[in-house]
Amino acid sequence: MHAPTSAWTAVIPLRAGSQGLPGKNVRELAGRPLYRHSVDQALAAGATRVLITTDIPEVLRAALPAGVACLERPPALAGHAVPMDPVLVHALQAGAVAGPVVLLQATSPLRAPADIRAALAVFARGDHELVMSVTDADRGVLKWGRVDGDRFVPLSEPAHCFANRQSLPPVVRPNGAVYVFDAAAFLARGTLACERIGMVLMPPERSHDIDTLHDFERASALLTRNSA
């Protein structure tokens, strides 16, 4: 079993550049900058510490609640092609983070504190190296395959390619909202990829990810509707 999750750190990565929607992380959503939704959700879920890793001057200068700190991200880790793994390695090492870590991406503002606590509870059982949030997906993807020359290579069992959609097993997809892992174990691997991955199911209405202006406007509408 993992160490108790009464003390845990939330890590929120924010990058200045965005190809789909420039400045989206600090763009106002329902009266708050987008990133503040994740900060407030982390605090509401009981985070002992919230660490923002960013290259955004506005965020680095911002007045933030108690328990929230900013870590300036090196330019080499701020490009659009930089994957999450090295960003996390830098944040955990520079911030001297230990114990359970919850990665919260600012582009998932509709998650609830209860979703974070649910993922922590699954992680605390000790059965998984990583716990992530998922949402229901189209089971028809089990019929798909990848290309290998002129061969069709099934993504799943070959029989699934010829089955009725209704008879296929349920499928879920990562929604990017919550990831829970142990800092030391992650640093030893150097990657989120691992063998034992647990999950918590989130409904589609809380699994919205923001990449474009259309996504942003839809999230705003959903937040307005949920608060009505």
**Concatenated DSSP letters for 20-71?**
SSTTGGGSEETTEEHHHHHHHHHHHHT-SEEEEEE--HHHHTS---TTEEEE
Summary mean pLDDT of the chain: 93
9-134+173-227: CATH superfamily: Spore Coat Polysaccharide Biosynthesis Protein SpsA; Chain A (3.90.550.10)
Grade residue 4 by pLDDT with cuts at 50, 70 and 90. very low
Least confident of 61-65, 114-118, 119-123, 150-154: 61-65
Say if residue 77's pLDDT is above 60: yes
Angstrom distance (rounded) from CA 160 to CA 169: 9
* Orientation of helix 34-45 relative to helix 113-124, angle to 10°: 50
Predicted confidence (pLDDT) at residue 101 exceeds the cutoff of 60:
yes
Closest CA to 8 of 213, 156, 179, 144: 179
Domain range summary for the chain, segments of one domain joined by + = 9-134+173-227
Question: Of 210 and 17, which is predicted with more confidence?
Answer: 210
Give the three-state DSSP class for 159: helix
Express as a percent the part of the chain with pLDDT over 70: 96
Give the alpha-carbon dihedral of 147, 152, 156, 160, to 10 degrees: 140
| pLDDT value at residue 227 | 66
- pLDDT grade for 223, boundaries at 50, 70 and 90: confident
